A and B are shown apart, each in its own frame.
Chain A
């Protein structure tokens, strides 16, 4: 008998818990927490504990599929590759490389993301490569890069333990990032103060010193309001502002338009609470801002992020331990997918495609004859729009499910159906894969080697615990084989380790990262410039990446769609503890499915009463985009006039309802606010 424990990194949230997979005779049997792991410390959330179940779930794809006469049939790898190669070549010939779009994946490894963008840029020769970070933290990347010079979480998870004050907004931390939530609770017991800004009564509300329940989409207003009080009451860190930042006077001028009375009018938060929150934050020795999609998924996403950066800088809460602006990344490797250049405007390590030197460097390394276009490529939502308009003819999608994750699904469906050729590479036949011409079976994280980068820039190993199921292949191998068949000689890798070495040689941020070092040290946090560099626990120490931190004066703008007579409710969406993203993984785990088998809409008892809705009753929720039928969950968690729907469930998909209106800079859709109508249908 062989019994072993393989140390690997969780494929769900961005906390990046490492744990063991218990393997008996080649079969994964369960999870064993790793007590020495600095993130999880031997503790996990319910998703982590049950991770093995999705890997063996019945729905796993084990053979390539080709669609014929509207139906899938199994095919050999050769056949599938040949078909893809001939179609890709033909479409490229007829319509040129810009008729392609490639979606990489925040679920796959760094190495695979690197290869996907390499495939886009060197084989297809387009910058039309993006991934779902567009839908969660594109505004973070844009906003923080503008303010600080780097778009990543500034500080690290273990530091939360020792912060004196937290401002948590738009993050239901104990549900979405349980192992960060637990640290906040521990800090609270030690005496740390918690300021929670969230419309809903989430679990953290019970532990918050003060809870501001703002109207969705009014974040710039309350953030400016806090800064108004901080400036007015002399709580600005003058020294920090003078030495480390620029543009303060302009910020001050703007912020002074937001006295608490006015902020109360816009946000619905009592002015006394704005003042107390500002005092708690301004007086704290170390204060850490934690946010997530409640801040980013707005047409003013970049504005919201910049406002958070403003608040951190005027109070000097930057560049030291236990402070900072800390966006929590939702997916296990959304940070890595961004870092490795699965974005239309940058190469790995955020090296701009507009820069000729970088283009030349990569053209040379990738042995290219063609020239990489200097124009920025299309983003996720733009790709679907362009497909709809007939300009994008072919999409190659790896491990993403826009048919559930993207706003306005009906529109996404039409777009995908109008393509000439759609290739989907996934472990399940997702709603998106159903529409594909060819489906390639990738493997889960248990069946491959690689690295993930957690939310705090923590690069960690994913280690193969079991052999690929059926004929499935790791995604890195699929992309490499496809590239080779497209005629490239720059994709010959024996293992992901060689890909990581190539990444290190071309990406200064990852320059010192290698499998040997990760085995020795357990993790490395970027920037990690060379083999002697220990990695970086928190960013912007002594100096911002861009030199001086830059204040941006921000004017409040209301959300794109406000409630009106016809659509009198505000709809907000999000995730819950027991499921993950589009549910493809978690919904086939019996223990998670048992907890929450389907979606629901949270509605306040007063509203329910007025509309004659009973708990558990199926009701109708509609917006200008569409209608869904969904069970009602009557709860005081939501305020009156606001309803909440978790987006994991395709049978009552929140994203049929959501508004695809985009942030002008980051192109992130406004998934967090739209106007809706709620009706009883007497069922």
Chain B
């Protein structure tokens, strides 16, 4: 997959279609997001590992709104870009999507609902993919058991805000998690359950299931359980799935004039 992809993006650079390609680079035994601007660097472009590239893209566009860039993106990156665009956080016209599918191992690791973008330039989409974990264990708990479960989990919180910082859809410059009206400042752990509930609910209809929040959580709080259940609710209640098409109206985004 990698050699074909390198050729493909090399061509985008050479032809001047884009000024740079946002992708992952192998360096110092680790993998990092990087903006490739020259064809001769492309040899270090890799597809392993996963980083919130949509957030990086949004940051780059803010730096230079007119710049045209390509992004090597997985399903979740694409969905995040689409949801960001619906909220005027990104300009899709200046982005060239270079889609890649996730393999089974990766899709399993993320328990992903949709491990591929709409169009891919190389590799193959997993066919008939259904994620293994349906959170049945959790759903079968009584309300009381759920309360005990979450209490035990959320008391571990280190208030690093990492779940928010890593999330491509958490873009508000004034974050309600930092508003003392809801969450007392300087307390560890943050008050139960408001801190985590605010974040979960603010992501309803936004969350694209990329898993970056849970990956960033130093204490292993199963944040994806919350996200998954909320995504199910949004689907059941409104028939809405995030990140599918820029034209799909988001049920929770109000567009009323007032």
Contact = CB atoms under 8 A, between A and B. Distances in A.
Interface of A: 1-5, 7, 20, 22, 24-25, 29-30, 32-37, 42-46, 49, 174-175, 178-179, 181-182, 185-186, 189, 203, 206-207, 519-522, 576-578, 591, 594-596
Contacts of B165: 49
Contacts of B31: 35-36
B185 A594 contact: yes
A200 B248 CA distance: 53
B60 A42 contact: no
B134 interface: no
Interface stretch (B7-15, B32-40, B74-82, B250-258): B32-40
B49, B160, B165 pick with most chain A CB within 10 angstroms: B160
27 contacts: A1-B20, A1-B64, A2-B35, A3-B60, A4-B34, A5-B34, A7-B30, A24-B60, A33-B166, A35-B30, A36-B30, A37-B30, A49-B160, A49-B165, A174-B158, A174-B188, A181-B158, A182-B219, A182-B220, A186-B220, A189-B220, A203-B189, A206-B155, A207-B156, A521-B29, A594-B185, A596-B185
Given A1-B19, A3-B35, A189-B220, A25 B158 contact: no
B218 interface: yes
B47 interface: no
B191 to A, nearest CB: 13
Chain A interface mostly: mixed
B218 A179 contact: yes
B188 A203 contact: yes
Contacts of A203: 155, 188-189
A595 B177 CA distance: 11
Interface residues of B, number: 42
Interface in B37-93: 37, 49-51, 56, 59-60, 63-64, 67
B22, B60, B159, B188 pick with most chain A CB within 10 angstroms: B188
B224 interface: no
Given A36-B30, A49-B161, 4 more contacts: A1-B19, A1-B67, A36-B49, A203-B188
B19, B27, B35, B156 pick with most chain A CB within 10 angstroms: B156
B151 to A, nearest CB: 10
A666 to B, nearest CB: 31
A519 B165 CA distance: 28
Contacts of A577: 158-159, 188
Nearest to A46: B160
Nearest to A174: B158
A591 B178 contact: yes
B30 A595 contact: no
Nearest to A189: B220
Contacts of A594: 178, 185
Interface of B: 19-20, 22, 27-35, 37, 49-51, 56, 59-60, 63-64, 67, 155-156, 158-162, 165-166, 178, 185-186, 188-189, 215-220
B216 A43 contact: yes
Contacts of B63: 1, 24-25
B189 to A, nearest CB: 6
B28 A44 contact: no
Contacts of B166: 33
A638 to B, nearest CB: 15
A521 B27 CA distance: 12
A14 to B, nearest CB: 16
Given A1-B19, A522-B28, A578-B186, A46 B159 contact: yes
Contacts, number: 124
Contacts of B27: 7
A181 B165 CA distance: 20
A33 B35 CA distance: 17
A22 B165 CA distance: 14
A5, A49, A207 pick with most chain B CB within 10 angstroms: A5
B214 to A, nearest CB: 10
Contact of A43 (B19, B51, B162): B162
A594 B27 CA distance: 36
Nearest to B164: A49
Given A4-B34, A25-B63, A522 B29 contact: yes
Contacts of B35: 1-4
A35 B49 contact: yes
B30 A519 contact: no
B159 A522 contact: no
Contact of B160 (A24, A29, A32, A178): A178
Contacts of B51: 32, 35
Nearest to A590: B178
B220 A185 contact: yes
B29 A182 contact: no
Nearest to B185: A595
A46 B27 CA distance: 26
Contacts of B158: 45-46, 174, 178, 181-182, 577
B164 to A, nearest CB: 10
A32 B59 CA distance: 13
Shortest beta-carbon contacts, A-B, top 3: A3-B35, A43-B218, A36-B30
B152 to A, nearest CB: 9
A182 B32 contact: no
A42 B30 CA distance: 11
A515 to B, nearest CB: 11
Given A1-B37, A34-B32, A46 B161 contact: yes
Contacts of B160: 43-46, 49, 178
Contacts of B33: 3, 5, 22, 32
A607 to B, nearest CB: 21
Given A5-B32, A43-B162, A49-B165, A596 B186 contact: yes
B26 to A, nearest CB: 10
A404 B131 CA distance: 55
A190 to B, nearest CB: 11
A178 B218 contact: yes
Nearest to A186: B220
A44 B49 contact: no
A179 B178 CA distance: 22
Contacts of A3: 20, 22, 33-35, 56, 60
A634 to B, nearest CB: 13
Contact of B32 (A29, A32, A44, A181): A32
Nearest to A519: B28
B125 to A, nearest CB: 25
B156 A185 contact: yes
A519 B29 CA distance: 8
Nearest to A596: B186
A108 B178 CA distance: 32
B28, B56, B67, B216 pick with most chain A CB within 10 angstroms: B28
Given A1-B20, A43-B162, A49-B161, A33 B64 contact: no
Contact of B215 (A2, A30, A35, A520): A35
Given A182-B219, A186-B220, A7 B28 contact: yes
B50, B51, B156, B218 pick with most chain A CB within 10 angstroms: B218
Nearest to B50: A35
B157 to A, nearest CB: 9
A5 B67 CA distance: 20
A589 to B, nearest CB: 12
B51, B56, B186 pick with most chain A CB within 10 angstroms: B186
B120 to A, nearest CB: 23
Contacts of B155: 203, 206-207
Contact of B219 (A30, A42, A185, A578): A185
A20 B166 CA distance: 13
Contacts of B50: 35
Nearest to A181: B158
A29 B162 contact: no
A437 B116 CA distance: 64
Nearest to B63: A24
B53 to A, nearest CB: 11
Nearest to A183: B218
A591 B165 CA distance: 12
A643 B67 CA distance: 57
